[in-house]
Amino acid sequence: MTIERMDSNHRMSKIVKHNGTIYLCGQTSGTEEAPSIEEQTKICLSKIESLLSDAGSSADKLLSVTIYLRDMKDFAAMNAVWDAWIAPFGKPARACVEARLARPELLVEFTVVAAQ
């Protein structure tokens, strides 16, 4: 059994590959310059696409996505961006929960599992 960890630091790996499955660390906008939920969601999805590409995968191989919202009032706006982005791909299993995120300016975070 081989586990490959990519882009690791002292705390985590951005990508972990095991048995043909790819696990991404939580993706946030990482910036205070994207104040809206729509902009933060777009940044997160762009990061996800880039990391999946680095891992030898793509958004059409998503298996599961968990979305953490700071406030469920943003659910519809986040979904509008998500729906436009996911439209050409197979739809993954998905959960969305309200959660306190690491910093107050963060409105959304995504965790992803994909096939290789």
Number of domains in the chain: 1
Q: Please report, for the domain that includes residue 109, its CATH number.
A: 3.30.1330.40
Q: In a 10 Å sphere around its CB, with 0-12 CB exposed, 13-18 middle and 19+ buried, how is residue 1 labelled?
A: exposed
Query: Helices 37-54 and 75-86 sit at what angle, rounded to 10 degrees?
Result: 40
- 17-65 residue pLDDT tens: 999 999 999 999 987 676 899 999 999 999 999 999 999 999 999 999 9
Of 28, 26, 25, which is closest to residue 15 (Cα–Cα)?
Answer: 25
Give pLDDT tens digits for 80-105.
999 999 999 999 999 999 999 999 99
Range of the domain at 45: 3-115
**Residue 97, class by beta-carbon neighbours within 10 Å (0-12 exposed, 13-18 middle, 19+ buried)?**
exposed
